[in-house]
Amino acid sequence: MADIWDDEWLHRRYYDGLVPEAAERHLHLAARSYADDAVAERYLKEAIEIAPEHVAVHLGLYKFYFYKGRLREALDVALACLRLSAKSLNLDSDWENVQGTQAEFGCFDASQARFYMFVLKAYGYLLLRLGDIAGGEKVLAKLLELDPSDRIQAKILLEVLQKKDDDDDDE
């Protein structure tokens, strides 16, 4: 059985050639180095330097920060992902100005619009986790405006928040 970190593994391509090969290799090197925060983070930031307009490299850094519990840094990267996603959809870079008619938010198969909504949800969730309840609620309300059928499931986060408020009131 081959070592999962062999050279072939490091050169595999997952993004159909959309992400430059060098940036993708840095993503793989970061995965291989995940236990060493400084090394993995360096590879992820180098991937962003190589391909600053590709959301996949930013998403890699976001996931790294999120799973390492570095939520403040994950929040900054989520905002960068949101802006990149907005740019790809020709939306306003400020999520508060985005309107439901500006992209195919209702079409769940429209991957760019769906990705935008998932990133918006992640951004709102991180705000909540970091204690900015009003900010998180505002983001999730915008998400429900864009996704009134709640296919991205923002309501569940708001319901958990409401239950917490109700429990706090009972004390």
Q: Please, how many CA atoms are within 13 Å of residue 54, restricted to the half-sphere of its CB?
A: 22
If one compares 8 and 154, the residue with the highest pLDDT of the two is 154
CA distance 35 to 15: 24
* Distinct helix (H) and strand (E) counts, the chain: 8, 0
pLDDT in the model for residue 2? 41
| Cβ-based neighbours of 28, under 8 Å, separated by 6 or more | 9, 10, 11, 12
Mean pLDDT of 23-38: 94
- Written as six digits, the tokens of 57 are 């490299």
Backbone φ and ψ of 59, nearest 5°:
-65, -35
Cβ(75)–Cβ(132) under 8 Å?
A: no
Q: Is the pLDDT of residue 126 over 80?
A: yes
CA distance 124 to 136: 4
pLDDT in the model for residue 161? 80
For the entire predicted model, the pTM comes to 0.86
Average pLDDT over the chain, rounded to an integer: 88
CA distance 155 to 121: 10
Cβ(57)–Cβ(47) under 8 Å?
A: yes
Burial class (CB in 10 A: 0-12, 13-18, 19+), 45: middle
Residue 93 banded pLDDT, cuts 50, 70, 90: very high
